Amino acid sequence: MNKKYIFIFSITTVCIAIMCGVWFAWSSFENKKTEVTTDTISVHKDDARVQKAKENIRMLQESLAKNPQSPEIKRSLSRAFFLSGDSEQAQYYITEALTQKSDDPQYYIDLGVIYVAQNEILKAEEQFLKAISLFREKGKTSQENTFYSVSSKGDISMTKQAVIFEKLSIPVVAYARLADIYLRQNKPQEVIALLEEGVTLSPQYPDFYKILSQAYQQLHDVENESKNQKIFEKLTSFNTRS
């Protein structure tokens, strides 16, 4: 009788083991199939993006042939080449555009982003610094011009000056990218000083708080690390809902 029970128990155990093995194999197959499907979708999206960029390149080159002195078309061509994966042509066209539009911070940002992609970090840092410096100078000039024009009428308003400053195109990408470079260089104090200015100019830009959190982490300042991380999460959550 004991042998019979032992035999039944053994058969049952083997059956359970086989069923578990089949279930595990099937689950692995399904997971793998899902991963492959997700990867395939991602590849298709990338292919579509590249294809769209190449179509834009053809149209922009035709436009540039008709208007060869346009820095805006050259900048758009640079971006299209960058999206297509050709960073050398992207660099060529934005550099050409900069010879004609050297007073626009956004052009320096584009070149800096290309340098980051090429892992030319010091060159990228230089471009982001130029963008921020130009922005600061434009802001200063705008405020001074506003001051003199308004004060001549005797009704100077600091609030109005601030509004004029805010209307300038804030190079938030330059602040964020430069801060990220400082972070890589293990310069948390430089990150904090830079982004304190950035937050003042654009308090709703989430990346500022994420990078600030990482800078405070390098300084082992848990309180400020946590505070900035929470702001980042709150802003990204709000943007997702919107």
Asked whether residue 153 carries a pLDDT value surpassing 80, the answer given is no
User: What is the mean predicted confidence (pLDDT) over 166-175?
Assistant: 77
pLDDT band at 146 (very low <50, low <70, confident <90, very high): very low
Domain range 45-102, CATH class = mainly alpha
Q: Tell me the pLDDT tens digit for each residue of 194-203.
A: 999 999 999 9
Specify whether the CB–CB gap between 84 and 57 falls below 8 A: yes
Tell me which of 1-10, 64-73, 89-98, 209-218 is least confident: 1-10
- What pLDDT, on a 0 to 100 scale, did the predictor assign at position 138? 84
Tell me which of 23-37, 48-62, 66-80, 208-222 is least confident: 23-37
Asked whether residue 111 carries a pLDDT value surpassing 60, the answer given is yes
- What pLDDT, on a 0 to 100 scale, did the predictor assign at position 22? 42
- The rounded radius of gyration (Å) of the Cα atoms in the chain is 28
Q: Tell me the pLDDT tens digit for each residue of 8-34.
A: 445 555 455 555 454 444 454 455 444
CB within 8 A of 40, min separation 6: which ones?
none
Closest CA to 174 of 118, 114, 117, 106: 106
Asked whether residue 110 carries a pLDDT value surpassing 70, the answer given is yes
Tell me which of 53-57, 180-184, 216-220 is least confident: 53-57
Structure tokens at 51: 């294809």
Asked whether residue 140 carries a pLDDT value surpassing 90, the answer given is no
Token match 């050297």: residue?
102
CB within 8 A of 53, min separation 6: which ones?
80, 81, 83, 84
H or E element: which one contains 152? none
Closest CA to 132 of 205, 212, 201, 216: 201
pLDDT band at 122 (very low <50, low <70, confident <90, very high): very high
pLDDT band at 139 (very low <50, low <70, confident <90, very high): confident
- Cα separation, 71 vs 76, in Å, equals 9
Q: What is the pTM of this model?
A: 0.70
Asked whether residue 83 carries a pLDDT value surpassing 80, the answer given is yes
Cα dihedral angle (228, 192, 206, 183), rounded to 10 degrees?
A: -100
Asked whether residue 38 carries a pLDDT value surpassing 60, the answer given is no
Distance of alpha carbon 169 from its chain centroid, rounded? 17
Residues present in the chain in total: 242
- What pLDDT, on a 0 to 100 scale, did the predictor assign at position 149? 34
- Cα separation, 2 vs 8, in Å, equals 10
User: What is the mean predicted confidence (pLDDT) over 62-91?
Assistant: 95
Asked whether residue 163 carries a pLDDT value surpassing 60, the answer given is no
